[in-house]
Structure 1
Amino acid sequence: MRIATYNVNGINGRLAVLLRWLEEATPDVVCLQELKAPEKKFPIADIEKAGYGAIWHGQKSWNGVAILARGAQPLETRRGLPGDPDDSHSRYIEAAVAGMIIGCLYLPNGNPAPGPKFDYKLRWFERLTEYAADLLELGVPVVLAGDYNVMPTELDVYKPERWVDDALFRPEVRTAFKHLVAQGWTDAVRALHPDDCIYTFWDYFRNAYARDAGLRIDHFLLAPDVAKHRESAGVDKVVRGWEHSSDHAPTWIMLRD
């Protein structure tokens, strides 16, 4: 089973790129972030024509997450993180797919830091960590995939010295990610490539993609029942170079049956 996560950076504006990648890569499950589309504007007809069932949590102009399943309909199990009933951002959706719980998340960026946006990011991280602990207690196969907006180590960022004050690399955020993983999750891509510089995001500015000046901010955290089945992982980097592509590239893991 191939599970992918992809921050599409506007699903309708980049629909042709998404559909081309789905046809070429044929992932079994896909977690999408930054739909930037309200509920009624999600292109479900095109997604279904491509062979995928879908659930989504939209928001006008910002955020938005979705889960696609090839030849199946994801069964929604949660929409939004618990812990803050006033949080209106569409950043988390969860479904049962092929005997697993798949959580798709888009963690806040948090810039500028320090400031209110950074505080919100840390609170959201706390809520995710608390909920992730509850998922682990269920003892069922769980995958938490998405754009975490954090580079966990210096290996995950081009020229880390330039990012020391950024909300994606500040010590508070890296520590929060470390505490989350320490619950018993496996950072799948890093576990399979412990010493490699692997990036999932390249800025549109300063010719970042051509220079391979990237960041690894899209992650898979696997519960123990899933981690033992991990087989391979990678990034479809070439997609970042397609015309009108997102600034992220699809990232994937392969699980043994």
Structure 2
Amino acid sequence: MKIATFNINGIKARLPRLLEWLEETRPAVACLQEIKTQDEGFPADEFEKIGYQAIWHGQKSFNGVAILADGTKPVEVQRGLGGEPEDDHSRYIEADVFGVRVACIYLPNGNPQPGPKFDYKLRWMERLRARMREIAAEEVPAIVTGDFNVIPHDCDVWSVPAMASDALMQPESRDAYFRLMGDGWADALATLNPAGGVWTYWDYQAGAWQRDHGFRIDHALLSPELADRLKAAGVDKDHRAREKASDHAPVWFEFEKG
């Protein structure tokens, strides 16, 4: 079973590329971030034409997450994170699909830092940790995947000095990420690529793609019940090179059947 994550950076602008990727690679589950559309604007019918059903949590012009499944509809468990009732960002959706609990996240960027956006990022990560602890207590096969906006290790970025002041690489961001793993979750891509050097994002600016100046911010954290079934993981890097592509590449994970 293949589960993938893809920050699409605007589902309407990238729809042809997204449909192309789905048909070429056919993940059983695809988690999308930055769909950047209100709920009523989500193109569910386009996915149904190629056999995918979806649930989504949209927001006008910003954020937004969705879970697509091949041949079945994900059973929604939760949308949004508790802890800040006034928080209206669409950044979290969770469902049961194919016997796996799937949480799709778009974690706050946090720039500029220091400041209120960075403080919000760290609070959001604590709220995520609380929800992940609740999922772990259920002892189900589970994956929390998406754009974490965290570069966990120095080997996950093309140049440490170039990103040293960015919110993605601050000690507080990394510590919050490592606390999630300290609760028993495994970083799937890092498990299979311990030396690093695997990028999932290349900025549109300064020729980052052409110069391979990228970094890893799209992750999947696995519960012990699913981590034992991990077979392979990779990045569909060629899709980043296509016309009108997202600045992220899709990332996928393959698992043995439960």
Which residue number corresponds to residue 196 of structure 2?
A: 196
Correspondence 1:204-243 to 2 at 5 A: 204-243=204-243
Which residue number corresponds to residue 75 of structure 1?
A: 75
Gaps of 5+ in 2: none
Q: How far off is 1:195 after superposition? A: 0.9
- Give, as a single letter, the amino acid of the residue that structure 2 aligns with 1:114: P
Which residue number corresponds to residue 3 of structure 1?
A: 3
SS of residue paired to 1:189: helix
SS of residue paired to 1:144: strand
CA RMSD of superposed structures (Å): 0.6
Which residue number corresponds to residue 38 of structure 2?
A: 38
Q: How far off is 1:62 after superposition? A: 0.2
Q: Partners in 1 of 2:123 and 2:30 — Cα distance?
A: 26
State yes or no: 1:102 paired with 2:106: no
State yes or no: 1:90 paired with 2:98: no
SS of residue paired to 1:168: helix
Gaps of 5+ in 1: none
Q: How far off is 1:165 after superposition? A: 1.3
SS of residue paired to 1:209: coil
Moved more, 204-213 or 86-95: 204-213
Q: CA offsets, 1:167-212, max 9 Å, x none?
A: 0001100010011111000000000111131000000011111111
State yes or no: 1:112 paired with 2:112: yes
State yes or no: 1:137 paired with 2:137: yes
Q: How far off is 1:76 after superposition? A: 0.4
Give the fraction of aligned pairs with identical amino acids, expressed as a percent: 53
- Give, as a single letter, the amino acid of the residue that structure 2 aligns with 1:86: E
SS of residue paired to 1:23: helix
Stretches of 4+ aligned residues off by more than 2 angstroms = none
- Give, as a single letter, the amino acid of the residue that structure 1 aligns with 2:51: G
Q: CA offsets, 1:20-63, max 9 Å, x none?
A: 00010011100000000000000011011121010000000000
Which residue number corresponds to residue 26 of structure 1?
A: 26
Aligned residues: 257
- Give, as a single letter, the amino acid of the residue that structure 1 aligns with 2:31: C
SS of residue paired to 2:169: coil
State yes or no: 1:124 paired with 2:124: yes
TM-score (norm 1): 0.99
SS of residue paired to 2:244: coil
Q: CA offsets, 1:91-112, max 9 Å, x none?
A: 0000000111100000000000
Q: Partners in 2 of 1:226 and 1:72 — Cα distance?
A: 20
State yes or no: 1:255 paired with 2:255: yes
